[in-house]
A = this chain, B = another copy of it.
């Protein structure tokens, strides 16, 4: 899985996440509650809310594309509180991901990646992808899914996985 494959996988999963949010909106409508209540839902009192899980999934994807593609990361302040705003956040993120092309990832494995939380230390680009970006991205995407599932939204594994390039014959 090249960095470009990973970014395309993140894009697909964020697009899937928007569909989970559509199912949540249908569920809320059927149960006569305001879907934006779920933006503040969480699985434990000291854990991120659904909105924060979506923001974090977007940021993991955005920073992976920026650090490994050698591009500045656009600023996306964490101001979203509604499903409408979270949908826009996802689309801003996927638009940026689409702007980083396969050629931008040339040499990504050996790039020095030094996010602020490493306080001056760094990871090889390859190690950042394997040990940080991939597990963290799927952590936040799955937590977003788990919060909706815990709140009764009818999601199944194929909603999580989305389309598969299946071959016949």
Interface, chain A (partner B; CB < 8 A): 1-2, 5-6, 9, 13, 43-44, 47, 112, 118, 121-124, 126-127, 129-132, 134-136, 138-139, 142-143, 145-146, 149-150, 152, 157, 160-161, 164-168
- Give A164 to B115 CA distance when docked, in angstroms: 13
Interface of A is mostly: helix
CB of A130 within 8 A of CB of B1, answer: yes
- The reply to whether A134 and B139 contact each other, CB–CB distance below 8 Å, is no
Q: Kindly name the residue among A1, A5, A47 whose own CB sees the greatest number of chain B CB atoms within 10 A.
A: A1
Residues on B with C-beta less than 8 A from A44 are 149-150, 152
Residue on B nearest A133 in the bound complex, by CB:
B1
